[in-house]
Amino acid sequence: MQDDTRQGDLLVILRHAPHGSSWLKEGLDVALVAAAFDRRVTLLFMGEGITALLEGQQAGPLGQKGTAPTLAMLEMYDIDSLLVEARGMDALGLTGEQFMLPVEGVGDAEIAELLASHALVLNF
Amino acid sequence: MRYAILLLDAPYTSQAAHSALRFTRALLAKGHAVDGVFFYHDGVHNAARLAAPPQDEPHLVDAWAELGREHAVPLQVCIAAALRRGLLDEQEAARHGKQGASVEPPFELTGLGQLVDLGLRCDRLITFGP
């Protein structure tokens, strides 16, 4: 459900897997900050970015914090519009049951619509 | 039109910084307003005061600074991404007990909220990345 008192729609697209680079982390940071400033935020996980949603991730030997704790906080920031590219899920052989959060699958046509309907789109 | 630029890659690593700079110059030459250039991810390296490329190569850091000064375009650098990568202005250097600053005006360290504001305020936000 979208809260109409919030202004400015932001779509953050996450296309990189966690741990291998800071893209995912820095993309999520923008989403959290925008939400903290009372913007409406939609997250779209695409391609390898979908692996961020996999349950049971840990920090690992590099000492990175990882992104799973951030994803777990999204609800606290009222970011509840979590979308995932259906075609990407198929390509990676993933199903919704493997994810740590409830997400909604979207097709290519819906993604095109999302790009058009958000005032600001940021791609990470 | 009112434009904002988002640069996500370091100078001398890919074409992104060159393209962003040339595009910004072209916008100004055409009479468009550029409300700000935001440096995030590895793009924060464009604010490295100590960059010293060979003299026969474009000096991207100086070119950004010159563009910022001449056209009063704010050059905003994400503070969290910058501090991690060793890019500190005088105030942050003092705060973290570091000798010497690696970022100086017209670049300014700022928060990600500025990026969101900038993007929503302008007609177009154009992203340059690797």
Query: In which order are the strands placed within the sheet that holds B33-39?
Result: B107-110, B75-78, B33-39, B2-7, B124-128
Of the candidates B115, B120, B129, the beta carbon closest to that of A30 is on B115
Domain count, chain A: 1
Instruction: Out of A16-20, A60-64, B74-78, give the one with best mean pLDDT.
Output: B74-78
Considering only residues 44 to 73 of chain B, which have any Cβ-Cβ distance to chain A shorter than 8 Å?
none
Residue B40 contacts A where some CB pair is shorter than 8 Å? yes
Class of domain B2-128: alpha beta
Structural domain containing residue A116: 4-123
- Residue A44 pLDDT exceeds 60: yes
B113:A22 CB<8 A? no
Residue A43 has pLDDT above 80, yes or no: yes
- Taking only the tens place, the pLDDT of each residue in B40-77 is 999 999 999 999 999 999 999 999 999 999 999 999 99
Global ipTM: 0.92
Q: Quote the mean pLDDT of chain A.
A: 92
Query: What is the C-alpha to C-alpha distance for residues B125 and B115, in angstroms, rounded to an integer?
Result: 10
CA distance B124 to chain A (A): 8
* Residue A8 pLDDT class (50, 70, 90 cuts): low
What confidence category does residue A1 fall into, taking pLDDT thresholds of 50, 70 and 90?
very low
Angstroms from B9 CA to nearest CA on chain A: 11
Across the interface, do B40 and A26 touch by the CB < 8 Å criterion? yes
**Who's near A112: CB < 8 A, 6+ residues apart?**
none
CA distance B115 to A23: 16
The DSSP 8-state label assigned to residue A100 in this structure reads S
The reported pLDDT for the residue numbered B91 is: 98
Whether the CB-CB separation of B41 and B35 falls below 8 Å is answered with no
Instruction: For residue B119, list chain A residues with Cβ-Cβ distance below 8 A.
Output: 10, 119-120, 122
Query: Do B120 and A8 lie within an 8 Å CB cutoff?
Result: yes
Pair of tokens at residue B105: 């005006």
Q: Report helix, strand or coil for A23.
A: helix
pLDDT at residue B11, rounded to an integer: 97
In Å, how far from its chain's centre is CA A26? 11
As a dihedral over the C-alpha atoms of residue A99, residue A100, residue A104, residue A109, rounded to 10 degrees, the angle is: -60
Instruction: Please check the confidence at residue A3 and state whether its pLDDT lies above 60.
Output: no
> What is the structure's pLDDT at A59?
82
A115 neighbors A121 (Cβ within 8 angstroms):
yes
B33 bridge partner residues: B2
pLDDT in tens, B93-123: 999 999 999 999 999 999 999 999 999 999 9
Read off the pLDDT of each residue in A36-45 and give the average, rounded to a whole number.
96
A43 bridge partner residues: A12, A82
**Is residue B77 within 8 angstroms of chain A, CB to CB?**
no
The enclosing domain of A64 has a CATH number of 3.40.1260.10
| Residue A67 to residue B87: CA distance in whole angstroms | 24
How is residue A4 annotated by DSSP? T
**Count of residues making up chain A:** 124
Min distance A121 CA to chain B CA atoms (Å): 9
